[in-house]
Structure 1
Amino acid sequence: MGNRTIRRTSVTLPSLDEPSLYLSHVTSLEGGRGRVTEFHYDAMDLRALDLADTHLINGRVRGLRTQRAELDRVRVDSVEFTGCDLASLHWTESKITRAVFRDCKLMGAALEDVTLDDVLFENCKLDYSTLTRIRVMGPVIFSQCSARETTFAAADLGAAAFDDCDLRLTEFSGGKLRGLDLRGNDLSQLRGLASLRQVIIDHGQLPQLAEALAAELDVTYGEDLDG
């Protein structure tokens, strides 16, 4: 069982290459009695993906592309999502454990009341998304992701770390952010700075936060008036 570590945050990755584990090819993520286990789901173009009361266990999802995705009460355990494009994703009241999202497009996604535990987002596009009441119960890493104009609303992100991410106009609105690790990112265009109490940054990022605060307060510089 491998790990991905960024500074003090370490995510446990799915163990899908164990000799005793055989992944069967499936043509649908809707299994009998709502369970799909030890599976491989590959390269599908769907107009819509609708899953409810479903449990995905030990599997790989590769190259899945949808025009609309609606996931409700979907539990994910030990699953890798690679190269997926889940347009207009709406994911609610679910739990994601020991999962990887790699090279995925989740642009404009809406996640509500989703719990994350040991989850890695790597090289993913989350631009223009809204993550509401996201609860990070275990370590979560966002690495080399784009989250432009993404909003984290009333989220509990204390066990999360961002690294080398595009956080232009990313907004944090309320929630519990104590311990959130924002080192290794440009913070100069963040929004919602009042919510960032007790997050972790480097001393070198203080000027970036000052720049973000000046923009958020829409201050006027006296030198400009004098000119």
Structure 2
Amino acid sequence: MDTCTIRRTSVTLPALNEPGLYLSNVTSLEGGRGRMTEFHYADAGLRDLDLADTHLMDGRITGLKAQRTRLDKIRIDSVEFSGCDLGSLQWTDSKISRAVFRDCKLMGAMLTDVTLDSVLFENCRLDYSTFTQIRAAGPVIFSKCSLRETTFAAADLGAALIDDCDLRLTEFDGGKYRGLDLRGNDLSQLRGLASLKQIIIDHTQTLQLAEALAAELDVTYGEDLHE
């Protein structure tokens, strides 16, 4: 069983190379009775992608481009997303398990009440996104992602790790982050530091947090005053 491990966090990856598993090419993600299994959905260009009450299991979604994306009450199990561009993404009331998002653009995405369990975001663009009431029920890794001006609001990310990501003006607005591993990032422009109690950092990042706090408090340095 393949895994992605960074420091002490390990994500179990989709099991798509198992003997006897054959992925059939499909032209839609709308399966019979709300279920799609053992599938490959590739290179679709859509104006609108609307899915609700659907279970996607054991599949690959590659090169999907949608101008507007609405996902509601979706269950994801053992699915790999690669090279996808999901514009105006709104994803609500769903669970994502053993999934990978690799080289995807999810700019300005809005995820609300979504549970993540063994999920890897790798080399993804998530700038200007809002993650509201996101819960890491199992390990979650953000690796080499851009999270500029992204907001985590009332999230529970104690089982998550963020590594080598762009966190410029990334904001944490309430929530639970005890155990969140933020080593390997520049933290000097974070926002919402009061929410980040009991996170994991390196000693060398302490000064970065001090810099972020000074900016957040809008302090004035005495030596800059003209007396």
- The letter of the residue matching 1:134 is I
Between the aligned partners of 2:115 and 2:149, the Cα distance in structure 1 is 22
Q: Unpaired segments of 5 or more residues in structure 2?
A: none
Q: Equivalent residue for 1:108?
A: 108
Between the aligned partners of 2:99 and 2:40, the Cα distance in structure 1 is 14
Residue 225 of structure 2 aligns to a residue whose secondary structure is helix
4+ residue runs over 6 A deviation: none
Q: CA deviation at 1:42?
A: 0.3
User: Is 1:121 matched up with 2:118?
Assistant: no
Q: RMSD between aligned alpha carbons?
A: 0.6
User: Is 1:196 matched up with 2:211?
Assistant: no
Between the aligned partners of 2:177 and 2:109, the Cα distance in structure 1 is 21
- The letter of the residue matching 1:188 is S
Q: CA deviation at 1:20?
A: 1.0
- The letter of the residue matching 1:68 is R
Residue 166 of structure 1 aligns to a residue whose secondary structure is coil
User: Taking every aligned residue pair, what percent have the same amino acid on both sides?
Assistant: 78
Q: Equivalent residue for 1:156?
A: 156
Q: CA deviation at 1:18?
A: 1.2
- The letter of the residue matching 1:82 is S
- The letter of the residue matching 1:44 is A
Matches for 1:1-227 after TM superposition, within 5 Å:
1-226=1-226
- The letter of the residue matching 1:53 is D
Between the aligned partners of 1:52 and 1:22, the Cα distance in structure 2 is 25
Kindly provide the CA deviation profile for residues 45-88 of structure 1, in whole angstroms up to 9, marking residues without a partner as x. 00000000000000000000000000000000000000000000
Please state which structure has a larger fraction of its residues in strand: 2
Between the aligned partners of 2:142 and 2:5, the Cα distance in structure 1 is 11
Between the aligned partners of 1:6 and 1:218, the Cα distance in structure 2 is 35
Between the aligned partners of 1:150 and 1:95, the Cα distance in structure 2 is 21
Between the aligned partners of 1:144 and 1:77, the Cα distance in structure 2 is 23
Q: CA deviation at 1:24?
A: 0.4
TM-score by length of 1: 0.99
Between the aligned partners of 2:18 and 2:130, the Cα distance in structure 1 is 36
Residue 212 of structure 1 aligns to a residue whose secondary structure is helix
Kindly provide the CA deviation profile for residues 125-159 of structure 1, in whole angstroms up to 9, marking residues without a partner as x. 00000000000000000000000000000000000
Query: Matched residue pairs, number?
Result: 227
Residue 155 of structure 2 aligns to a residue whose secondary structure is coil
Between the aligned partners of 2:203 and 2:128, the Cα distance in structure 1 is 29
Kindly provide the CA deviation profile for residues 170-198 of structure 1, in whole angstroms up to 9, marking residues without a partner as x. 00011010000000000000000000000
- The letter of the residue matching 1:65 is K
Between the aligned partners of 1:224 and 1:176, the Cα distance in structure 2 is 37
Q: Unpaired segments of 5 or more residues in structure 1?
A: none
Residue 220 of structure 2 aligns to a residue whose secondary structure is coil
Q: CA deviation at 1:226?
A: 3.9
Between the aligned partners of 1:174 and 1:183, the Cα distance in structure 2 is 20
Between the aligned partners of 2:69 and 2:226, the Cα distance in structure 1 is 54
